[in-house]
């Protein structure tokens, strides 16, 4: 149907999400800098997608590492990782993916540089494929909480475009629809960058899922007048206590859902959970340039020189979250304990 990320052996193809829904244009990335630039411009975005793309970009660029010894190789590899990591501070999936590939290579302690480069590529591709699998499992677990005839509100884009494929919160909606449940999605447009109207609306159309598009400011009144059965969002980083960073507007949505007694879920692969981050306040929140608010495309919509606050994300406190839908099942409160348990099981599995 559409493949936002594709590995083409000597390059990576990325669907340029800044051009959607008007044009489906692919960016041919033959080096890490082109990928880093695409990440900065949000041509590719979404926490799980960023993890996959970061690993692929490093695997591609690592081929031209000139270091002959393992030490030299790892030194240069770290520099590549840092170049990608500095593009966006909030999503933990890049850190997670690059940590995973580096650990994998380091554990192969007899491998030579040439083999390390090959292993790196294999591990990056494994992350790619596992993310799709994880998303499908999120869909299977998540669809259980979706009643038939459900109205499900969401924000930002958490579909194929935000992941290696299938989607997280979007994947739950999709899985429920694929299982034959009648669902109505309500997509909040997601200012400033309109991922809800540009990307989620486009993906919902492509998947023939009925939906309504609203501005973010209509969410509360929609809940009151039309009603909603669930709110499901994605996450860019989940702290050890369950606090979840996600697209700006998620915090308001959680409060509005709470006030209307609508269960509020987060859907994300466990790679989005950062056990090193104790709580939401410890998550770095990226602030982006004012022009995202003062302009739409090239069109100015605010006077020259206005002061703007433009955090790209906010944090939903765990108390507002009914459950975190992961590939391992739905994590319920108490989160500290149950997140530790889910990650512990994860570690066992990967070391088995």
Cβ distance to a second copy smaller for residue 93 or 294 = 294
Q: Which of 131, 216, 236, 314 is catalytic?
A: 236
In 283-297, which positions are buried (b, 16+ CB within 10 angstroms) versus exposed (e)?
Answer: bebbebebebbbeee
Does residue number 275 form part of the binding site for a second copy (CB under 8 A)? no
State the binding string over 177-206 for a second copy (x if CB under 8 A, else -). Answer: -----------xxxxx-x--xx--xx--x-
Do 135 and 48 contact (CB within 8 A), yes or no? yes
The 8-class DSSP code of residue 282 comes to: G
Does residue number 1 form part of the binding site for a second copy (CB under 8 A)? no
In this chain, which stretch among 26-34, 105-113, 140-148, 210-218 interacts with a second copy, using CB under 8 A?
A: 210-218
- Quick one: which of 186, 162, 134 has its CA closest to 2? 162
Does residue number 261 form part of the binding site for a second copy (CB under 8 A)? no
Number of residues this chain uses to bind a second copy (CB under 8 A): 55
In this chain, which stretch among 1-9, 23-31, 34-42, 217-225 interacts with a second copy, using CB under 8 A?
A: 217-225
Does residue number 314 form part of the binding site for a second copy (CB under 8 A)? yes
What contacts 159, CB < 8 A, 6 or more positions away?
166, 167, 170, 171, 174, 199, 200, 203
- Quick one: which of 275, 231, 277 has its CA closest to 254? 231
Q: Are strands 244-247 and 299-300 parallel, antiparallel or unpaired?
A: unpaired
Do 109 and 63 contact (CB within 8 A), yes or no? no
Distance, in Å, from the CA atom of 140 to the CA atom of 179, rounded to the nearest integer, reads: 9
Distance, in Å, from the CA atom of 310 to the CA atom of 321, rounded to the nearest integer, reads: 24
Does residue number 138 form part of the binding site for a second copy (CB under 8 A)? no
* Catalytic residue status for 216: no
Question: Of residues 18, 21, 278, 333, which one binds a second copy by CB under 8 A?
Answer: 21
Question: Of residues 73, 170, 251, 265, which one binds a second copy by CB under 8 A?
Answer: 251
Residues that bind a second copy (CB under 8 A): 21-22, 155, 188-192, 194, 197-198, 201-202, 205, 210-222, 224-226, 248-249, 251-252, 255-256, 258-259, 293-294, 296-297, 299-303, 305-311, 314
């Amino acid at each position: 149907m559409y493949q936002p990320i594709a590995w083409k052996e000597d390059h990576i193809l990325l669907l340029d999400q800044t051009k959607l829904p008007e044009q489906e244009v692919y960016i041919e990335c033959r080096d890490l800098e082109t990928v880093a630039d695409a990440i900065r411009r949000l041509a590719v975005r979404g926490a799980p997608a960023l993890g996959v793309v970061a690993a692929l970009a490093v695997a591609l660029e690592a081929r031209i590492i000139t270091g002959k010894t393992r030490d030299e190789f790892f030194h240069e590899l770290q520099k590549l990782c840092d170049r990608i990591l500095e593009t966006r501070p909030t999503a933990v999936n890049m850190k997670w993916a690059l940590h995973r590939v580096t650990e994998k290579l380091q554990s192969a302690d007899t491998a030579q540089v040439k083999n390390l480069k090959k292993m790196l590529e294999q591990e990056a591709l494994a992350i790619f494929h596992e993310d799709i699998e994880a998303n499908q499992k999120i869909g299977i677990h998540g669809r259980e909480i979706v009643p038939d005839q459900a109205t499900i509100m969401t924000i930002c884009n958490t579909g194929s475009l935000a992941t290696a494929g299938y989607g997280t919160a979007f994947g739950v909606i999709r899985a429920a629809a694929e299982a034959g449940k009648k669902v109505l999605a309500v997509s909040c447009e997601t200012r400033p960058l309109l991922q809800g109207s540009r990307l989620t609306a486009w993906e919902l159309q492509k998947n023939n899922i009925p939906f309504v598009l609203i501005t973010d400011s209509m969410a509360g009144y929609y809940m009151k007048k039309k009603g909603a059965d669930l709110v499901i969002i994605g996450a860019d980083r989940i702290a050890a206590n369950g606090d979840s960073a996600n697209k700006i507007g998620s915090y308001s949505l959680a409060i509005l859902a709470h006030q209307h007694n609508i269960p509020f879920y987060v859907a994300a692969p466990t790679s989005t959970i950062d056990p090193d981050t104790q709580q939401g306040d410890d998550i770095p929140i990226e602030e982006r340039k004012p022009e995202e608010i003062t302009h739409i495309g090239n069109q100015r919509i605010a006077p020259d020189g206005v002061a703007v606050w433009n955090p790209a994300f906010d944090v939903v406190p765990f108390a507002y979250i009914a459950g975190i839908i992961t590939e391992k099942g739905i994590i319920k409160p108490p989160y500290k304990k149950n997140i530790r348990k889910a990650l512990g099981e994860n570690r066992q599995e990967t070391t088995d």
